Amino acid sequence: QDLFESPDFYGIDDLLTEEHILIRNSVRDFVKKEISPIIEDCAERNIFPEYLVPEFGKLGLFGPTVSTDYNPNGGLDYISYGLMMQEIERGDSGMRSTVSVQGSLVMFPIYTFGSEEQKKKYLPKLASGEYLGCFGLTEPNHGSNPSGMESRLEDKGDHYVLNGAKMWITNSPKADIAVVWAKNDEGRILGVIVERGMEGFSTPTIHDKWSLRASVTGELVFNDVKIPKENVLPGVSGLKGPLNCLDSARYGISWGAIGVAMDCYDTARRYALERKQFGKPIAGFQLIQKKLAEMLTEITKAQLVSWRLGVLKNEGKATTAQVSLAKRNNIEIAMHTAREARQILGGMGITQEYSIMRHMMNLESVVTYEGTHDIHLLILGHEITGIQAFR
Ligand code: TGC
Ligand code: FAD
């Protein structure tokens, strides 16, 4: 049963508009009714609840910042988007993965770099959830360093031929389309839209994950796939194409991590008030209070970071390094909160009766994808010193 009560120690709600609160509450309600009741079972059985994809579309979760010209539920700001991610990830990081890949990594590049025909053809179907998309950047030999990618687009005059492989791709086994990044004959990175059914294109599933078990992850394999020239994203070339998309997704993840931390904090607080040892509720012991006080402190700081970053994004001023700080910090505090919350629950903390252990396992992916914890530290180090320490 989902009894969640949201902590709001610094009155962050006062910084939100009525529309923000309405959006936040409708997604919170959806999570309570549609995600919380099924998610432990899906995670245990390693099942992606695919039937929720059109429901996410109806709720307006896909690409909310895309203009209403292509998305009837679009035209919203980045705070609305962040609040959606917070609520969905409170339900499960894998559900937020599905939503943020579709919105930030598939719709965003088509909307930002695509031709008018591409926008009209794909965006409405992605917004409604009729199509599911995925984003192929990482390769078996190139994760943190995508500039080394080996996937190739060979120019054959009226079309390209794509060869190569992508690894660890969220949604890939179920996706109708993939936005894929590969190098052309000049070694320049281009984005192309690959459709399921194209000859030579396959999407094997990656099995046996202990993390994000309710999300589906796979490979993208390209064997001489003929790509029509009209499937190339005309508006960008170079690594800045995919990195631009990542800025949007990483921002959303910074909010999502707050949702996880809130869920763990709230579960631990309620449990500590009910559970008695040595004749009194464990919430009455100083060591438990220290854990809860520190959790609330970190959640409050994280809320302020993401809210301010959202305002900067709305003004078009947010920098990559600011996004890195928020993603890195908020996942770290979510991981710490989850670990401390699990301890407050004692033995019960490792069971499926509570969401904490599932969140803990999920966060191991969240701290790795969209740039690892240490890569974000190096992005900040670069910003601070002007010296690049990646290579
Ligand atoms: P570097 O030399 O720094 O930059 C290359 C070009 O890109 C430009 N640039 C950006 N442009 C827009 N937005 C950004 N955030 C940008 N950052 C850099 C830069 O100006 C340059 O442009 P130009 O015109 O001079 O070519 O690149 P580098 O090769 O040194 O790499 C930098 C580094 C390591 C930070 C970067 O490659 C990186 O972020 N690595 C981490 C890889 C990563 O995050 N992969 C994520 C894969 S997708 C994923 O995980 C989805 S999970 C989804 C889910 O399930 O939720
Ligand atoms: P590596 O890059 O091999 O890194 C291994 C370790 O080395 C890390 O600790 C890293 O921080 C460290 N390291 C690397 N370089 C440096 C350096 N210069 N200095 C110091 N330390 C360094 N990718 C997509 O393109 N699309 C997706 O949809 C997608 N979904 C994913 C879903 C899941 C569940 C997971 C786990 C991953 C997903 N990824 C996706 C891939 C993800 O982005 C990569 O796993 C991530 O970027 C790290 O790459 P890697 O796993 O190859 O690790």
- How would DSSP label each residue in 90-150? HH-HHHHHHHHIIIIIIIHHHHHH--HHHHHHHHHHHHHTSS-EEEE--BTTBSS-GGG--
CA of 75 to the centre of ligand 1 (A): 26
Question: Residue with the nearest Cα to atom 40 of ligand 1?
Answer: 144
Answer for the pair 176, 105: CB distance below 8 angstroms, yes or no. no
Identify which of 93, 100, 138 to mutate to test ligand 2's pocket (most ligand atoms within 8 A of the CB).
138
Copy the structure tokens of residue 15: 């910084």
Active site positions, annotated = 370
Identify which of 168, 324, 363 to mutate to test ligand 2's pocket (most ligand atoms within 8 A of the CB).
168
The closest alpha carbon to 70, from 107, 132, 120, belongs to 120
Does the model's pTM come out above 0.95? yes
Q: Is 362 exposed, middle or buried (0-12, 13-18, 19+ CB in 10 A)?
A: buried
One-letter amino acid for residue 190 of the chain = L
As a whole number of Å, the end-to-end CA separation of the chain is 49
Give the nearest ligand 2 atom to 101 CA.
28
Residues 203, 172: Cα–Cα separation, whole Å? 6
Answer for the pair 320, 251: CB distance below 8 angstroms, yes or no. no
Residues 201, 214: Cα–Cα separation, whole Å? 24
Position 285 scores a pLDDT of 98
Give the nearest ligand 1 atom to 368 CA.
50
The enclosing H or E element of 25 equals helix 18-30
Question: Residue with the nearest Cα to atom 44 of ligand 1?
Answer: 371
Identify which of 375, 378, 380, 388 to mutate to test ligand 2's pocket (most ligand atoms within 8 A of the CB).
375
Copy the structure tokens of residue 19: 């529309």
Per-residue confidence in pLDDT tens, the chain, 391 aa:
567 899 999 999 999 999 999 999 999 999 999 999 999 999 999 999 999 999 999 999 999 999 999 999 999 999 999 999 999 999 999 999 999 999 999 999 999 999 999 999 999 999 999 999 999 999 999 999 999 999 999 999 999 999 999 999 999 999 999 999 999 999 999 999 999 999 999 999 999 999 999 999 999 999 999 999 999 999 999 999 999 999 999 999 999 999 999 999 999 999 999 999 999 999 999 999 999 999 999 999 999 999 999 999 999 999 999 999 999 999 999 999 999 999 999 999 999 999 999 999 999 999 999 999 999 999 999 999 999 999 9
Question: Residue with the nearest Cα to atom 54 of ligand 1?
Answer: 97
Give the nearest ligand 2 atom to 171 CA.
28
Q: List 191's β-bridge partners, or say none.
A: 181
Ligand nearest to the CA of 138: 2
Handedness of CA 307, 309, 312, 313 (dihedral sign): negative
Residues 324, 330: Cα–Cα separation, whole Å? 10
CA of 371 to the centre of ligand 2 (A): 6
The closest alpha carbon to 318, from 330, 310, 327, 326, belongs to 310
Ligand 2 in contact with 354 (CB < 6 A)? no
Give the nearest ligand 2 atom to 211 CA.
34
CA of 252 to the centre of ligand 1 (A): 16
